[in-house]
Amino acid sequence: MLLHQFLEQTARRLPDQVALVCRGTSYTYRQIDEAAARLGAAMQHRGVRRGDRVAIFLDNSVESVVSVYGTLKIGAVFMPVNALTKTDKLAYMLNDARAACLVTHTALRGIWDEALARSPSVRACIVVGGEIGESGADRFLSYRQATATGGMMRIEPAIDQDLASIIYTSGTTGDPKGVMLTHLNMVTAVNSVSGYLGYREDDVILCVLPLAFSYGLYQVLIGFKVGAKVVLEQNFAFPVQVLEVMQRERVTVLPGVPTIFTLLMAMKTLSQYDLRPLRMITNTAAALSEEHIRQLRGLFPQTALYSMYGLTECKRVTYLPPDQLEVRPTSVGRGMPNQEVWLVDELGRRLPNGSTGELVIRGSHVMRGYWGKPAETAERLKPGPIPGEMVLYSGDIFHTDSEGYLYFVARKGDIIKSRGEKVSPREVENALHSLPGVLEAAVVGVPDAMLGQAVKAFVVIKSGQRYSDKDVIKHCLTKLENFMVPKYVEFVDSIPKTDTGKIKKTGLA
């Protein structure tokens, strides 16, 4: 089974069913499938081959969905890139993955123009939202043109061991790492998650999470497997607008992260909307507090609430069945179907229930590794119980109760989770160091009611250099996705160090 075959099967079974609603327009399964085939053919025509990487640098949109499937159909590997990404990082990703094709939007040209100039591997650039002409015409193609004509797509002999996607994730080393996922990895995750959540053909799934974030992406992947309707919104910036869409489309499934639920619950007008069809709320990326859970259950008594845990390296690991929410509200549950999880101590020895240790995951959904990073891969993928098999060391510390339910304790390393997104302190520190006159920088997460954790930077600057916190923040905005940019900047004379000269973050807050 290949990942895009879920769409193709559903398009045969329910061709005229609405697959996607985006900015007020509906698209049927047949329309999405056909547009994807045309886009795939256009990519092939421009020399994109099986195994080539295709970067999709777009907002949530019908074009981003079609691009995912168009890429898969020709045996190529899609690489979703968050639309908030800045030039340097985009160039890094295009070069790191040696991408052959970039699909993007004219509105983002200020970012990709320069990145593209620095990325010789990119042979084709397909642009949504306007005609791209004149200069460098053979590298550019408008999306409209690419999907208008019916060039013949060659069917590639892909198998499920081929890569389907590379998703970049922040790492403790500072350089983003490309998580390599095969068709088998992703099909396995789709089957397990749709199995335990029970998404149905009559579901209307609201996706406000970016498709560059695997939690958002899987709303489409799973929705298209079961033949549901996916309502794609750009983000949660205008909650009233999202609530109107929820009411109008009779949304039944709302996947979110704690920041979104905080915003939602703060709406005084929430009760004016008819949200009765909502049958399921899911949360992952960061834990909901007990108070959040209590409030959500009060507001949506008819709705099942799922607390879950996962990581890009294998998509999803655990979920808490809603009937357990009363019993153990702070647990993220137990392993999902068709996988095995356990805790290990520092020597890698398996621990019994009731212990605290690193979570290890075994299953067909576990990634193939980090693209081009064997050392980082070896830290996470280690030999499993069967010869030749690799299991995933999550880097997250959990506690289990006597029945094996898992409770998140801490992350190994110092990754910050803000707004549900991973922020690498090293990546932020690197951005700070690129500001002239910055001598030292240390970045930590501080508690924040809305964001979970907010990013705080401690900065030592050269004497004579004058910066305000705004200057530092603005500089970071040129380098980092908005959610990584420090919310607080504190200027200090020095930063505490350990005996070996490493920055000591324990005292910083």
CB of 236 to another protein, least distance (A): 5
Q: 298: exposed, middle or buried (C-beta count within 10 Å: 0-12, 13-18, 19+)? A: exposed
3-state percent breakdown (helix, strand, coil) of the chain, nearest 5: 30, 30, 40
Residue pointed to by tokens 């193709």: 8
User: HEC states along 384-435?
Assistant: CCCCCCEEEEEEEEEEECCCCCEEEEEECCCCEEECCEEECHHHHHHHHHCC
Provide the token pair at 317: 């690991």
CB of 44 to another protein, least distance (A): 30
Decide: 186 and 217 in contact? Cβ < 8 Å.
Answer: no
Decide: 54 and 76 in contact? Cβ < 8 Å.
Answer: yes
CB of 60 to another protein, least distance (A): 11
The smaller minimum CB distance to another protein, of residues 57 and 218, is found at 57
Return the beta strands (E) in 88-184 as ranges.
101-105, 124-128, 140-142, 163-169, 177-182
CB of 17 to another protein, least distance (A): 29
Sorted by sequence, the CB contacts under 8 Å of residue 359 that are 6+ apart come out as 317, 341, 342, 343, 394, 396, 397, 398, 406
Q: Is 63 helix (H, G, I), strand (E, B) or coil?
A: helix
The smaller minimum CB distance to another protein, of residues 268 and 466, is found at 268
The smaller minimum CB distance to another protein, of residues 225 and 475, is found at 475
Rounded Cα gap, residues 392 and 383, in angstroms: 9
Decide: 406 and 244 in contact? Cβ < 8 Å.
Answer: no
Rounded Cα gap, residues 321 and 329, in angstroms: 10
CB of 257 to another protein, least distance (A): 11
Q: Which of 196, 194, 178, 257 is nearest to 230 (CA)?
A: 194
Instruction: Specify the DSSP class assigned to residue 501.
Output: S
Question: How far is the CA of 269 from the CAs of 169, 280, 326, in angstroms?
Answer: 36, 21, 28
Rounded Cα gap, residues 384 and 392, in angstroms: 9
Decide: 263 and 236 in contact? Cβ < 8 Å.
Answer: yes
The smaller minimum CB distance to another protein, of residues 28 and 234, is found at 234
CB of 118 to another protein, least distance (A): 14
CB of 482 to another protein, least distance (A): 4
Instruction: Go through the chain and tell me how many residues it has.
Output: 509
The smaller minimum CB distance to another protein, of residues 107 and 152, is found at 107
Query: In terms of C-beta distances under 8 Å and separation of at least 24 residues, what long-range contacts does 171-175 make, across chains too?
Result: 171/370, 171/376, 171/424, 171/426, 172/413, 172/414, 172/415, 172/424, 172/425, 172/426, 173/376, 173/424, 173/426, 174/424, 174/426, 174/427, 174/429, 174/430, 175/92, 175/96, 175/427
CB of 244 to another protein, least distance (A): 9
Q: Which of 45, 44, 56, 114 is nearest to 82 (CA)?
A: 56
CB of 258 to another protein, least distance (A): 13
Rounded Cα gap, residues 52 and 54, in angstroms: 7
Decide: 310 and 209 in contact? Cβ < 8 Å.
Answer: no
Q: Which amino acid is at 63?
A: E
The smaller minimum CB distance to another protein, of residues 272 and 498, is found at 272
What is the contact surface with another protein in residues (CB under 8 A)?
59, 83-84, 86-87, 107-108, 110-111, 114, 234-241, 259, 263, 267-269, 419, 450-451, 470, 473-475, 477-478, 482-483
The smaller minimum CB distance to another protein, of residues 107 and 148, is found at 107
CB of 483 to another protein, least distance (A): 7
CB of 306 to another protein, least distance (A): 23
CB of 158 to another protein, least distance (A): 34
